[in-house]
């Protein structure tokens, strides 16, 4: 199906991607299926950079539900749908009956009658799971408290661009065991690379995700020492210490995460050609120093751009 649709735009033919109808977590898919998305991402990025139209979703509409505010997620999905020839419809929590207590299953079934797909950025993973259960159109996880699959796909595509591939590299996560850390753990299990996670005691990644990854034979190292995690690593990653909904914990988290700032000293322990990622927004001087995010190791701006290209590949595949 992908080959036939994309052939019209002179994109190289690929085998069909037998993906599920939704994109809720990386663990739904095989390495080959996700690798095929990276190939499609590359070609769509080349088309966009060259100014070549690629209206693969002409006439399609994506409902974008935001229970959490966003800069990059909203812009990248909305612009992505436009570049694919479709339309993105922004719906905030205050703009929908979901925000007034309508059952998720009711909203899901109605939206599926109007739109060709739904992207949700919300709190609980159970919300997107239930929405997908009742919607008859594809549902994309734009972020939950448990997972952030679109971001990690963009991160890995950035690694591929800068390192020629994701294999044979050591990855380090420094900071909170949050949705980003959980999704990196999924990625490590699927793609087979070594991942070291440095998190303070009490802020470890989700235990269920860790068990799932262990059953898959993931190469994981959990430590409370950031220096151990970054030593010789090729890809360094971090995120804010207090995510949306955790603002009241800002002061207590700042104390717990003392010494976890990805600064020049920590980066100096990594491989000489290490790259630094951050999903943004960044609290400079907290989880990452200004010198690092603006320095020679940073690929943060390429990473941010790649949200657009990866999500276009996901939408083109699911809404085809």
Catalytic residues: 121, 148, 151, 239, 279, 307
Q: Is 239 annotated as a binding residue?
A: yes
Question: Any binding-site annotation on 244?
Answer: yes
243 annotated among ligand-binding-site residues = yes
Residue 61 labeled ligand binder: no
Instruction: Give the torsion through C-alpha atoms of 269, 176, 223, 183, to 10 deg.
Output: -90
Whether 279 has a binding-site annotation, put simply, is: yes
| C-alpha dihedral sign at 284, 290, 292, 297 | positive
User: Is residue 35 reached through a cis peptide bond, with omega within 30 degrees of 0 on the bond before it?
Assistant: no
Tell me: is residue 211 an annotated ligand-binding position: no
| Alpha helix ranges (H) inside the chain | 2-7, 31-50, 72-83, 104-114, 125-134, 149-163, 179-191, 207-215, 226-230, 250-256, 264-267, 290-293, 300-318
Q: Is 12 annotated as a binding residue?
A: no
3-state DSSP assignment of residue 33: helix
Q: Is 73 annotated as a binding residue?
A: yes
Asked whether residue 265 is marked as a ligand-binding residue, the answer is no
93 annotated binding-site participant: no
* φ/ψ of residue 26, rounded to 5: -60, -30
Distances (CA, A) of 128 to 7, 162, 171, 275: 32, 32, 28, 32
Task: Specify binding-site residues for carbamoyl phosphate.
Answer: 70-73, 97, 121, 148-151, 279-280, 307
Task: Specify binding-site residues.
Answer: 70-73, 97, 121, 148-151, 179, 239, 243-244, 279-280, 307
Task: Specify binding-site residues for L-ornithine.
Answer: 179, 239, 243-244
């Amino acid at each position: 199906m992908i080959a036939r649709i994309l052939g019209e735009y002179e994109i190289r033919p690929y085998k069909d991607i037998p993906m599920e109808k939704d994109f809720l977590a990386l663990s739904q898919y095989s390495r080959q299926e996700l690798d095929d998305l990276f190939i499609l991402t590359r070609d769509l990025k080349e088309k966009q950079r060259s100014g070549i139209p690629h209206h693969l979703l002409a006439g399609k509409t994506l409902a974008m539900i935001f229970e959490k505010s966003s800069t990059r997620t909203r812009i990248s999905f909305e612009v992505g749908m436009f570049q694919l020839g479709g339309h993105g419809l922004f719906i905030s929590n205050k703009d929908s009956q979901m925000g007034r207590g309508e059952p998720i299953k009711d909203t899901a079934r109605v939206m599926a009658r109007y739109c060709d797909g739904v992207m949700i950025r919300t709190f609980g993973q159970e919300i997107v799971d239930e929405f997908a259960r009742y919607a008859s159109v594809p549902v994309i996880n734009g972020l939950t408290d448990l997972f952030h699959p679109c971001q990690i796909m963009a991160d890995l595509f950035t690694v591929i661009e800068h390192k020629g591939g994701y294999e044979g590299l050591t990855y380090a996560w420094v900071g909170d065991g949050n949705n980003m850390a959980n999704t990196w753990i999924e990625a490590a299990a699927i793609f087979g690379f070594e991942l070291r996670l440095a998190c303070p005691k009490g802020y470890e990644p989700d235990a269920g995700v860790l068990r799932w990854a262990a059953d898959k034979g993931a190469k994981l190292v959990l430590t409370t020492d950031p220096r151990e995690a970054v030593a010789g690593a090729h890809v360094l990653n971090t995120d804010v210490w207090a995510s949306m909904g955790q603002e009241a914990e800002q002061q207590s988290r700042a104390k717990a995460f003392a010494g976890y700032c990805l600064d020049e000293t920590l980066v100096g322990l990594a491989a000489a050609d290490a790259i630094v990622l951050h999903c943004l927004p960044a609290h400079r001087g907290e989880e990452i120093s200004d010198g690092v995010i603006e320095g020679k190791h940073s690929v943060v701006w390429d990473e941010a751009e790649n949200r657009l290209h990866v999500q276009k590949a996901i939408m083109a595949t699911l809404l085809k």
